[in-house]
Amino acid sequence: MPTTLKVAGESSDFTVDPNISLLNLLKNNWPAGGASGDSDLVVMAQAGDGTLSGVKFGTAWFSGNPYYQIHVKPSTVSQKPRTLGGTRFAYSDFHQIHVFAKGSNAKDKKWKMEKEIENILNTRVGNPITGVSFSVVDGPVNLPEEDPMSKVEHSRYNVLLYYHKVVS
Q: State how far the alpha carbon of 7 is from the alpha carbons of 4, 32, 74, 131, 164, in Å.
A: 10, 32, 19, 6, 6
pLDDT of residue 81: 61
Identify residue 34 by its one-letter amino acid code.
Answer: G
Percentage of the chain lying above the pLDDT 90 cut? 51
Residues in CB range of 5: below 8 A, 6 or more apart:
13, 89, 165, 166, 167, 168
Banded model confidence at residue 86, pLDDT cuts 50, 70, 90: low
Q: Is the pLDDT of residue 78 over 60?
A: no
pLDDT of residue 112: 97
Per-residue pLDDT tens over the stretch 126-145: 777 888 888 888 999 998 87
Q: In the chain, what are the domains?
A: 5-167 (3.30.2000.10)
pLDDT of residue 83: 63
Per-residue pLDDT tens over the stretch 22-45: 999 999 999 999 999 999 999 997
Q: Is the pLDDT of residue 53 over 70?
A: yes
pLDDT of residue 147: 65
> Which residues on adjacent β-strands are paired with residue 159?
95, 137
Higher pLDDT, 36 or 92: 36
Instruction: Find the DSSP H helices in 11-165.
Output: 18-29, 106-123
Mean pLDDT across 46-55 = 75
Banded model confidence at residue 111, pLDDT cuts 50, 70, 90: very high
* Least trusted range by pLDDT, from 1-5, 26-30, 88-92, 137-141: 1-5
Mean pLDDT across 65-80 = 81
Banded model confidence at residue 1, pLDDT cuts 50, 70, 90: very low
